[in-house]
């Protein structure tokens, strides 16, 4: 495939939840795949010995060392370089270090404009696909990932047939506190569905219950990821060539305006081109948008497939609130997977609350001591956060736990990713520039959820609750969505219902970029399910030789 | 020059251009010898760290090696900080006329003023007082709790002090019953 003049069936850029599925499914169907992954191949050896909290969590320096973005609140400001998103550059993508909370979006979340809108200052849209169409692919993804949960235990989850493939994870003392508090308030707590093996499954180990999980690669592959599942499956077909250390620089186009291939910088420093009949971009909301924007030509002066000027726009990252609590007995939050109890009662949208959309609430453990130590300022509010009070706070570390709200944030057209005109990386490529300000609806939603979580923890018997302010976190999240909006109108969307670009018939974007709205759940299972759906369509169309 | 040629020239310089990896700090941490700080700076920092974080579970910042952590940090990942940091330490010590020898209450008072930005005079080369205080506090915590490979948290003493179990994956993990708190 990489011989000069060879033309691959498909070139896939990025090996995460979208790219990993596309590579495995297409290769399984006999389609020839060349997969370019910017990062190296990291695996068990790295995850067992080389990770630590300072590197992985505080510096975000394990999975994308040296990676930088720039950030500003509005177009009137200069963007400041720093490390903001939690994206990874590694074989398997950012999913390698996810927290693995796995949800099917509710049917009404894909109809947000019809349900709640329009909202002034926001760019709401309905999804051009519905839950019924995604349902079998959610089931396929859940089975492939080995989701651990109890079907029907969440009365607010979207109705489903079929059980989860694995039983739920155990509750620790802090889970039982939250469960008791929620029950006392008339709410409906349930075990969080997680893509982490609660028993040996599909040839992968059971979770070892070491709390070092979210933000880290799993040394035993108990946590599902494309690295653990889809990359091996793709390799086993013999039809996938996987090139790591390969940074896509530009998608080239031919004289007819079709994608011709992908120029990339290889691990040895040389620049090469993969020519392909179809290019499938799966570099995440930031990577995919910046790749398209950087692929300019006479026909596409504003970036590839960007006649709508929508590429990079409608960037969403969810909004979070976090309430920590101290309990009488040890929480055991240092043990087990990152969970384990959830409350979804506040998810359904109800404008009478003063905002639209909702959030799922879930137990948020503090499995590692530095992040917990940094919350001392929230615990010690009203006094200096050092000296004896700080030492006493640290001594209570085993008694802390938390609850987090995954809040829906509204798409705003001016929240966007583009190429920074002033800052470049070590290779001379423009840094991704993030322009982002939360809509007032987001902030109202987050504050409401913060109050609800405090009530739950207090009702459960917490000695003290203390909130950590995440409203200002912006894109410092692992949930980056939007930037290549899926829609039926090419004037205000980038992709059609199959994640195929409106303007370039052989260019597809299959990752979280397609989300028209962000929903009140972690996005990754929906990214997986959509990728299975698009892969099935791609394969069916290929067999009918109907690919334009 | 065409952009792709420009990038080709830079390809070989990739490795050198990446920021210092944690392994650099880890290699350095294997020595307790100070790489950046002189003896009086070390003594000053020991006193500052001890005041910011008095003994936790009986473990002092001196036992945990916080100052060694800071020294290695200033030698590698945060070397750009070192000049302002050291200018600030010098200014604080000068205002104290020997910080390490002061009574605890006097040390606390000076650190409060540093946190509030009210120490005078304060040299421009030392940057903002509140920023320096914030860094000292952060570095004390990191020196106490970051992985021992960075030069602090000596032999996991900081982790033991706060009751952190450490990295369990290499130690066999724990059972579901242990997570549930239902077994010893």
User: What is the model's pLDDT at position B31?
Assistant: 74
Structure confidence by residue, pLDDT tens digits, A460-495 = 999 999 999 987 776 667 899 999 999 999 999 999
Q: How far apart are CA A196 and CA A221, in angstroms?
A: 9
Which site among A55, A68, A213 would you substitute to test the B interface, given the most B Cβ atoms closer than 10 Å to its Cβ? A55
**Is 70 exceeded by the pLDDT of residue A399?**
yes
Q: Which chain A residues are closer than 8 Å to B165 by Cβ? A: 211, 334-335
DSSP letters for B6-45: HHHHHHTTHHHHSPPPHHHHHHHHT--S-SS--HHHHHHH
Structure confidence by residue, pLDDT tens digits, B109-139 = 999 999 999 999 999 999 999 999 999 999 9
Instruction: Please provide residue A145's backbone torsions phi and psi, each rounded to the nearest 5 degrees.
Output: -90, -10
Q: Which chain B residues are closer than 8 Å to A52 by Cβ? A: 22, 146-147, 149
Q: How far apart are CA A261 and CA A284, in angstroms?
A: 19
Closest CA in chain A for residue B5: A271
Please check whether residue B139 touches A, CB under 8 A. Answer: no
Structure confidence by residue, pLDDT tens digits, A263-311 = 999 999 999 999 999 999 999 999 999 999 999 999 999 999 999 999 9
Mean pLDDT score across all residues of chain B: 86
User: What is the model's pLDDT at position B20?
Assistant: 39
Q: Which of A542, A540, A541, A515 is nearest to A529 (CA)?
A: A515
Tell me what percent of the residues of chain A surpass a pLDDT of 90: 93
Q: How far apart are CA A204 and CA A196, in angstroms?
A: 10
**Is 70 exceeded by the pLDDT of residue B16?**
no
**Is 50 exceeded by the pLDDT of residue B6?**
no
Bond into A335 cis (ω within 30): no
Q: How far apart are CA A183 and CA A177, in angstroms?
A: 10
Average pLDDT value for residue range A163-173? 98
Q: How far apart are CA A393 and CA A400, in angstroms?
A: 10
Establish, for the pair of chains A and B, how many residue pairs have beta carbons separated by less than 8 Å. 165
Non-local CB neighbours of A294 within 8 Å, separated by 6+ positions: A249, A250, A303, A419, A429, A430
Residue B133's SS3 state is: helix
**Is 90 exceeded by the pLDDT of residue B19?**
no
Average pLDDT value for residue range A6-17? 96
Answer yes or no: do A66 and B178 touch at CB < 8 A: no
Least confident of A84-88, A390-394, A410-414, A442-446: A84-88
Average pLDDT value for residue range A492-506? 97
Element (H, E) at A378: helix A376-379
Dihedral, CA of residue A55, residue A57, residue A58 and residue A59, to nearest 10: 50
Instruction: Please provide residue A461's backbone torsions phi and psi, each rounded to the nearest 5 degrees.
Output: 105, 15
Answer yes or no: do B55 and A391 touch at CB < 8 A: yes
A3 band by pLDDT with thresholds 50, 70 and 90: low
Cβ neighbours of A399 (radius 10 Å): 20
Q: How far apart are CA A394 and CA A378, in angstroms?
A: 13
Answer yes or no: do A391 and B12 touch at CB < 8 A: no
Do residues A522 and A491 make contact, with C-beta atoms less than 8 angstroms apart? no
User: What is the model's pLDDT at position A485?
Assistant: 98
Of the candidates B56, B167, B177, which has its C-beta nearest A210's C-beta? B167
Least confident of A159-168, A355-364, A465-474: A465-474
Q: Which residue has the higher pLDDT, B20 or A13?
A: A13
User: What is the model's pLDDT at position A478?
Assistant: 84
User: What is the model's pLDDT at position A1?
Assistant: 46
**Is 60 exceeded by the pLDDT of residue A545?**
no
**Is 60 exceeded by the pLDDT of residue B21?**
no
Closest CA in chain B for residue A53: B146
A155 band by pLDDT with thresholds 50, 70 and 90: very high
Average pLDDT value for residue range A419-439? 96
Least confident of A347-361, A514-528, B12-26, B115-129: B12-26
User: What is the model's pLDDT at position A475?
Assistant: 65
The position carrying tokens 């490390």 is A83
Q: Which chain B residues are closer than 8 Å to A265 by Cβ? A: 7-8, 11
User: What is the model's pLDDT at position A188?
Assistant: 98
User: What is the model's pLDDT at position A546?
Assistant: 55
User: What is the model's pLDDT at position A119?
Assistant: 98
User: What is the model's pLDDT at position A247?
Assistant: 98
B26 band by pLDDT with thresholds 50, 70 and 90: low
**Is 70 exceeded by the pLDDT of residue A53?**
yes
> Chain B closest CA to A26's CA: distance in Å?
30
> Chain A closest CA to B34's CA: distance in Å?
21
Average pLDDT value for residue range A154-178? 96
- Backbone Cα Rg of chain B: 20
Least confident of A239-243, A508-512, B22-26, B69-73: B22-26
Residue A48's SS3 state is: helix
User: What is the model's pLDDT at position A158?
Assistant: 94
User: What is the model's pLDDT at position A474?
Assistant: 67
> Chain B closest CA to A139's CA: distance in Å?
27
Residue A323's SS3 state is: strand
**Is 80 exceeded by the pLDDT of residue A432?**
yes
Which site among A335, A367, A393 would you substitute to test the B interface, given the most B Cβ atoms closer than 10 Å to its Cβ? A335
**Is 80 exceeded by the pLDDT of residue B22?**
no
The position carrying tokens 């990446």 is B18
**Is 80 exceeded by the pLDDT of residue A389?**
yes
Answer yes or no: do A369 and B145 touch at CB < 8 A: yes
């Amino acid at each position: 495939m990489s011989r000069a003049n060879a033309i691959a069936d498909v070139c896939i850029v990025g090996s995460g939840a979208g790219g990993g599925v596309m590579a495995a499914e297409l290769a399984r169907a006999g389609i020839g795949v060349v997969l370019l992954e910017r990062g190296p191949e990291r695996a068990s050896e790295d995850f067992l010995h080389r990770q630590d909290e300072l590197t992985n969590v505080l510096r975000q320096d394990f999975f994308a060392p040296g990676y930088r973005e720039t950030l500003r609140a509005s177009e009137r400001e200069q963007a400041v370089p720093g490390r903001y998103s939690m994206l990874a550059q590694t074989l398997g993508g950012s999913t390698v270090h996810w927290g693995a909370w796995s949800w099917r979006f509710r049917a009404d979340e894909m109809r947000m404009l019809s349900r709640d809108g329009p909202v002034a200052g926001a760019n709401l849209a309905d999804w051009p696909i519905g839950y019924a169409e995604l349902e079998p692919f959610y089931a396929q993804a859940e089975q492939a990932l080995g989701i651990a949960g109890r079907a029907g235990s969440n009365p607010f989850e979207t109705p489903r047939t079929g059980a989860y493939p694995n039983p739920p994870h155990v509750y620790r003392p802090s889970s039982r506190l939250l469960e008791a508090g929620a029950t006392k308030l008339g709410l409906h707590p349930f075990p969080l569905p997680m893509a982490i093996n609660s028993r040996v499954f599909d040839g992968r180990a059971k979770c070892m219950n070491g709390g070092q999980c979210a933000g880290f690669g799993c040394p035993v592959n108990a946590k599902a990821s494309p690295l653990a599942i889809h990359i091996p499956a793709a390799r086993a077909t013999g039809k996938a060539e996987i090139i790591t250390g390969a940074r896509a620089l530009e998608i080239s186009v031919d004289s007819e305006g079709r994608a011709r291939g992908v120029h990339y910088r290889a691990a040895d420093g040389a620049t090469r081109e993969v020519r392909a009949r179809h290019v499938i971009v799966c570099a995440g909301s930031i990577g995919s948008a910046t790749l398209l924007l950087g692929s300019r030509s006479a026909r596409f002066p504003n970036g590839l497939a960007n006649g709508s000027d929508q590429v990079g726009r409608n960037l969403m990252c969810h909004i979070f609130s976090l309430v920590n609590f101290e309990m009488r007995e040890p929480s055991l939050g240092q043990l087990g997977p990152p969970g384990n109890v959830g409350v979804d009662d506040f998810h359904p949208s109800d404008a009478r609350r003063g905002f639209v959309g909702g959030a799922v609430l879930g137990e948020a453990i503090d499995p590692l001591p530095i992040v917990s130590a940094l919350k001392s300022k929230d615990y010690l509010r009203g006094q200096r956060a050092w000296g004896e009070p700080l030492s006493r706070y640290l001594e209570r570390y085993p008694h802390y736990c938390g609850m987090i709200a995954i809040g829906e944030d509204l798409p705003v057209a001016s929240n966007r990713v583009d190429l920074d005109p002033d800052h470049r990386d070590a290779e001379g490529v423009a840094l991704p520039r993030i322009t982002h300000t939360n809509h007032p609806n987001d902030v109202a939603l987050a504050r409401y959820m913060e109050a609800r979580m405090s009530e739950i923890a207090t009702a459960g018997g917490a000695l003290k609750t203390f909130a950590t302010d995440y409203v200002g976190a912006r894109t410092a999240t692992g949930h980056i969505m939007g930037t290549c909006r899926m829609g039926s109108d090419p004037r205000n969307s980038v992709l059609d219902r199959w994640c195929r670009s409106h303007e370039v018939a052989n260019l597809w974007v299959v990752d979280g970029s397609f989300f028209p709205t962000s929903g009140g759940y972690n996005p990754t299972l929906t990214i997986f399910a959509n990728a299975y759906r698009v892969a099935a369509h791609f394969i069916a169309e290929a067999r009918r030789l109907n690919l334009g | 020059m065409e952009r792709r040629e420009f990038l080709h020239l830079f390809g070989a310089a990739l490795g050198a251009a990446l920021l210092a990896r944690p392994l650099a700090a880890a290699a350095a941490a294997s020595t307790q010898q100070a790489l950046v700080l002189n003896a009086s700076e070390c003594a000053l920092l020991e006193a500052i760290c001890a005041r910011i974080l008095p003994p936790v579970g009986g473990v002092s910042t001196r036992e945990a090696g916080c100052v060694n952590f800071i020294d290695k940090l200033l030698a590698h990942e945060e070397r750009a900080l070192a000049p302002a940091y050291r200018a600030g330490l010098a200014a604080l010590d000068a205002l104290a006329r020997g910080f390490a020898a002061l009574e605890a209450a006097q040390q606390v008072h000076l650190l409060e003023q540093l946190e509030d930005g009210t120490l005078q005079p304060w040299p421009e080369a030392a940057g903002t007082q509140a920023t320096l205080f914030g860094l000292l506090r952060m570095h004390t915590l990191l020196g106490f709790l970051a992985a021992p490979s960075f030069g602090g948290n000596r032999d996991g003493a900081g982790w033991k002090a706060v009751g952190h179990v450490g990295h369990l994956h290499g130690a066999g993990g724990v059972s579901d019953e242990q997570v549930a708190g239902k077994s010893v």
